[in-house]
Structure 1
């Protein structure tokens, strides 16, 4: 008779190994692993399984899990997702340089912590942890509930924890089985995701042999000034940043300098950047470095995670509204839709404002037929109203309503148009408050205020940084950029300049955040005049894909951005490949069926399988429809937020299905760009709408290393006008 397993115990080094494992739901029944694989061994005793690294020690920290949370009775729709979250919380527990994503909405009471168990907005299940069981330094994941509960009232099986911990010593002394088991274990131990993003080579090999002249110039920059690293997709910006970060960290002879590596995406920070660091130094010495006062010398995460850490929002029960995924965007759309519905029925607005802008009234009344309206309002909120904290009935609102507008902004020709937008924004903000949601711009404003307090002034030289790296700087708002100088220790200043290192490509931004703050955000974001290093050699894409990107680049609206919107001049360093192709389908159904059939075939034929094949949809509405379509659901792994990137590990024979913005920073062997339709783009649209659409196509195409297949549907007007130049220049050819 097989004993039911009651607990799982993992030492802190094994936690890191399991963080990069591919786990199937079935594995969570017995937790079997191939013996002597990646230094991990399994010991079972009295219904408790111990997964131990080869260096496990009695004095290490341990994660203890009550395995009842993975039983069918717990009702978890995706047990492996919950397990991955438990592992991430354990990483954070043992390494304060790691953050818990704000989308998980961590909540603290005393030593107890809870996070959401799944990413789905429909799921309310939460996982509960004791961060100091029996006043020890271990972590105990003890329960799952179907709905959020008072942390103090969730029962904790302390006897199970003690029994599990008491068996650690015997487990450490137990020899592994002589004959290792064979078969399918439901777990595959692997390198971190970021290793896929990095080319092979140690830190020293990269510095001595692999960096080109421009990259080497950037890596050798001293810490006495801000530096901006500009380059098209695939030129190695993130790789250069990671090499410089690790090299400078190890070169610090005093051992007391602290570095921050900030990104706009939690997934890029924790899966991508950490994995790239692992590729440069598999010993991960950078995770163990501490200052004399015990502070981690390298902090990696998003500006929001840093704000959350300093302000403690999770302890106050406040929920940030994510801007980094489909759930957050869908929720924001719903709030704006509700705000429009209220505004068009308000007698005061109907009688006072709409007579002066009947076209706008008609557009809002028929908004179900105008898919760009809410997109444009979201952009206006993010890049103007929220960015500049403009509220109705204020001096700033009057200036907004009567002032001049930039060509990239939403087309609002009269004061009445802008007053209506202010009304929509006011209702939207009220609904946010009613839901106790915190907008990201509000979070940043609070953080900026905190960095000006006496408290931060007293803590700055202990908790601040000597060097700050910012990847994907084009996604940072002006408000986010202007608070960065306050993150530095006072000693980091040299002649009025702070060592801020920024990597960016404005043309990859699918909204107007990058340009809404003006070019001063790049030249001098409050840290002193910056020095430019530009990368011009593409390492990701073939010459044929580079030529296609060059023709897409020519379609960007002409914009005077003081040289920052430079023409695409990168040259490919890769071998020749196939010319990108365009296929035109009679119907949407034929397009979807054929593309996913082709994608599955490519996934079977290439190294890396489905994780190297991406189907990227250029139309948000159609993406949502296809994502839930039963006819193809079994053929893809959906990536609907950048925090879903670990799902790439499970692609296998399925392809990845996403939108370009959710896979920014990744690369694939083959990319299918679907629904490049004329219905979504024409040359008579406003400059801002055209720029954002071209950016989405450019971003999607630039994810491909070897092959691009573009498709359009006659149901949506056939091929987009954007493809005319590539077709004319033969950088894109029509398929048979």
Structure 2
């Protein structure tokens, strides 16, 4: 009987993209046909799944799998779920770009960690228990499954079993492969190994091949930039901004290594999923993964929120951020604010004494459940960029000043003291709700991080812990306080006051589906966009050549560009001019349906069939542009069999396993990814306010359409409903120029 399963770091990564069925847990066999990437070695009652790269220094995941192990009391289906969670927790320790799922009930005490083993129900509350540094090693040990809710003290840790396992790693490395014979059906052992996520959605070249033969002249210009000044990389979706950043950080890392220079390079993203994609991208460009073990150069890839948690040592405290993913965290915060407002509206003191004194439009909008969502997002932005950033709370001196002080142009329109008091009351309720959940908001954490980076402690350690170059992707997703962080992350930051710092930033404002970036701009000043980074004048490289989608899709995006409202952003809001570097394809199409039910019945069937054709070689996505309709369609039972949902950025990691399946999501959840065929649904006239075309809701809708349409590589199909007043007017320029055809 196997007592422990020992998996090295590289194999953990491979298994994270595997589709695993209950049969696999009988003997953990690995098909010999998968390029010999996983070596299976059994020594007594210990089973090793390791790679050819495993050394005595490799990090290991040790799983207790005997009769009292982590899978012992789970049914067949739940074992697969639990194993996937064990793999994710291991990756979160081995790779900073990975984060546990949002509903896993993560609890930390010192180096001990626990999560729910499966989806939590009234009948199933079993938890998995981990030691993230057993016997002070850099390994991770999954040691128990228990329903005990009294914490870690009652759960026994068999350290001798762990020690006996890791001491055999040398013997396992030097043992022969013990994989099973090759089978015609790779799934007969209960496991199907897939390509990693980046290889599923991109090409596989080394970074030298990318640099010498594949990059455009504009991309190479950026990659060759020196560390003498900050550089911003601007480009539309599909122009390869992330790719250029990835090639540059690898090229620079190897140059510094060859020169024997001690350098620390940081790649920061807004989302932990994007960080994972970037890490996969670097692994794809450097198949031996030598970039992770350079002698002189340290390369770190991390979301800003993971970085904040690390610097602030939240892992050692009994509270956590609401999320470590920017997009997901703000979604949770929106849901919390909705609950707080609903509760406040039941209080006469707030409804009459506070809200009742506000202007009618503000009051009526908040009281209307259908129309207040846009206003709530603006209030959350006020929380992020003003209240939490400047530590303004109800009843404080700062709070009193907030009620009467003048406001800058970029701030939310709150004309009188009464509207500001209403916002402070909601902020007070919001903070209380978070405290009861024992979590911090994303903005509270960033505010803490900004204060920490100005502290005496950071001043003492920044020479060792700071960075010599910082690369920022998705700059358009970061709030003003978040952008203030980057300047302070450099080594001996004060020395940079007399010379420019090497901060490399990639962005596309038109992909910003919220106003966190745009709201920081004073009227008529595009340069104010980057002022909050505190880096002074920046050099600009602009990408105009597209190689991710067809010329026909590029032409449609160019026509869509004319629908963006004027935002006084000067040079930062240029007319979109794209040159496609790809082969021609079909023109995008628009299909009108009578009712939403007709739309989903047709689109989901067609998309599912296309995903299954040609042995699943085509990737197909249905993207919904409306939050409420997305939730409604997810609950439509008759179409569930046709798709796999991607309901958050957390879910993106499972895309590599969905070969031959259509996915259903929203544009912001799949940002950065590309699909062969995209169905962009419900681009209806009711989505925009034609009487107020410059409003934030209008701009956000156009950005969401732009983001979704630019996910298509070969085919783009758009749909709308007659019952929702037909197609959106933002499509008229494309219809008139025939870059979009009515089918």
**TM-score when scaled to structure 2?**
0.89
Give the C-alpha shift of residue 562 in structure 1.
2.9
Q: Equivalent residue for 2:646?
A: 639
Q: Equivalent residue for 1:472?
A: 474
8 Å contact 1:591–1:713 — kept in the other structure? yes
8 Å contact 1:468–1:500 — kept in the other structure? yes
Q: 1:223 aligns with which of 221, 227, 239?
A: 227
Q: Which segment drifts farther, 716-725 or 414-423?
A: 414-423
Give the C-alpha shift of residue 428 in structure 1.
1.9
Matched, 1:621 2:628: yes
Structure-2 change in CA distance of 1:382 and 1:550 (3 Å): farther
Provide the rounded CA distance (Å) in 2 between the counterparts of 1:678 and 1:622: 14
Provide the rounded CA distance (Å) in 2 between the counterparts of 1:426 and 1:320: 18
8 Å contact 1:7–1:49 — kept in the other structure? yes
Q: Equivalent residue for 2:267?
A: 261
The C-alpha deviation readout for 1:224-244, integer Å capped at 9, x for no partner, is: 110000000000100000000
Provide the rounded CA distance (Å) in 1 between the counterparts of 2:173 and 2:538: 54
Q: 1:446 aligns with which of 441, 445, 448?
A: 448
Structure 2: give runs of 5+ residues left out of the alignment. 522-526
Q: Equivalent residue for 1:306?
A: 307
Give the C-alpha shift of residue 733 in structure 1.
1.6
Q: How does 1:117-132 map to 2 (within 5 A)?
A: 117=117, 126-132=127-133
8 Å contact 2:322–2:329 — kept in the other structure? no
Q: How does 1:56-67 map to 2 (within 5 A)?
A: 56-57=54-55, 60-67=58-65
Provide the rounded CA distance (Å) in 2 between the counterparts of 1:479 and 1:119: 35
The alignment's C-alpha RMSD in Å is: 3.1
8 Å contact 1:667–1:703 — kept in the other structure? yes
Give the C-alpha shift of residue 688 in structure 1.
1.1
8 Å contact 2:563–2:730 — kept in the other structure? yes
Q: Equivalent residue for 1:289?
A: 294
Q: How does 1:406-445 map to 2 (within 5 A)?
A: 406=409, 415-445=417-447
The C-alpha deviation readout for 1:21-67, integer Å capped at 9, x for no partner, is: 34345434432111263332223355542213234455644321013
Q: How does 1:654-693 map to 2 (within 5 A)?
A: 654-685=661-692, 687-693=695-701
Q: 1:457 aligns with which of 452, 456, 459?
A: 459
Provide the rounded CA distance (Å) in 2 between the counterparts of 1:131 and 1:82: 17
The C-alpha deviation readout for 1:449-485, integer Å capped at 9, x for no partner, is: 1111221111111111100000001111111111211
Matched, 1:514 2:511: no
Matched, 1:279 2:276: no
8 Å contact 2:107–2:113 — kept in the other structure? yes
Structure-2 change in CA distance of 1:426 and 1:52 (3 Å): closer
Q: How does 1:194-593 map to 2 (within 5 A)?
A: 194-252=198-256, 253-270=259-276, 272-291=277-296, 297-322=298-323, 324=326, 329-330=331-332, 332-343=334-345, 345-347=347-349, 349-351=351-353, 353-368=355-370, 372-387=374-389, 389-392=391-394, 394-395=397-398, 399=402, 403=406, 406=409, 415-490=417-492, 493=496, 495-518=498-521, 519-522=527-530, 525-593=533-601
Give the C-alpha shift of residue 126 in structure 1.
4.2
Q: Which segment drifts farther, 227-236 or 331-340?
A: 331-340
Give the C-alpha shift of residue 441 in structure 1.
0.8
8 Å contact 2:411–2:520 — kept in the other structure? no
Provide the rounded CA distance (Å) in 1 between the counterparts of 2:127 and 2:386: 36
**TM-score when scaled to structure 1?**
0.90
Match of 2:5, SS state, is strand
Q: Equivalent residue for 2:524?
A: none
8 Å contact 2:559–2:733 — kept in the other structure? yes
8 Å contact 1:102–1:320 — kept in the other structure? no
8 Å contact 2:5–2:63 — kept in the other structure? yes
Match of 1:73, SS state, is coil
Structure-2 change in CA distance of 1:124 and 1:359 (3 Å): farther
8 Å contact 1:550–1:568 — kept in the other structure? yes
8 Å contact 2:30–2:40 — kept in the other structure? yes
8 Å contact 2:98–2:273 — kept in the other structure? no
8 Å contact 1:267–1:645 — kept in the other structure? yes
Q: Equivalent residue for 1:153?
A: 154
8 Å contact 2:128–2:142 — kept in the other structure? yes
Match of 2:233, SS state, is strand
8 Å contact 2:111–2:131 — kept in the other structure? yes
Structure-2 change in CA distance of 1:351 and 1:135 (3 Å): closer
8 Å contact 1:637–1:647 — kept in the other structure? no
Provide the rounded CA distance (Å) in 1 between the counterparts of 2:736 and 2:339: 41
The C-alpha deviation readout for 1:574-622, integer Å capped at 9, x for no partner, is: 1221111111111221111111101112112357546x11111111011
Give the C-alpha shift of residue 388 in structure 1.
5.1
Provide the rounded CA distance (Å) in 1 between the counterparts of 2:621 and 2:732: 24
Provide the rounded CA distance (Å) in 1 between the counterparts of 2:78 and 2:580: 42
Provide the rounded CA distance (Å) in 2 between the counterparts of 1:604 and 1:371: 38
Structure-2 change in CA distance of 1:429 and 1:561 (3 Å): same
Provide the rounded CA distance (Å) in 2 between the counterparts of 1:58 and 1:297: 21
Give the C-alpha shift of residue 128 in structure 1.
2.0
Structure 1: give runs of 5+ residues left out of the alignment. none
Give the C-alpha shift of residue 712 in structure 1.
1.5
Provide the rounded CA distance (Å) in 1 between the counterparts of 2:572 and 2:403: 26
The C-alpha deviation readout for 1:287-313, integer Å capped at 9, x for no partner, is: 11244xxxx701111111111111111
Provide the rounded CA distance (Å) in 1 between the counterparts of 2:402 and 2:94: 50
Match of 2:302, SS state, is strand
Structure-2 change in CA distance of 1:636 and 1:26 (3 Å): farther
Structure-2 change in CA distance of 1:236 and 1:528 (3 Å): same
Structure-2 change in CA distance of 1:78 and 1:277 (3 Å): farther
Provide the rounded CA distance (Å) in 1 between the counterparts of 2:624 and 2:358: 38
The C-alpha deviation readout for 1:310-331, integer Å capped at 9, x for no partner, is: 1111221112123645576245
The C-alpha deviation readout for 1:360-400, integer Å capped at 9, x for no partner, is: 33333332465545444444444554455543455566556
8 Å contact 2:29–2:180 — kept in the other structure? no
Provide the rounded CA distance (Å) in 1 between the counterparts of 2:418 and 2:637: 45
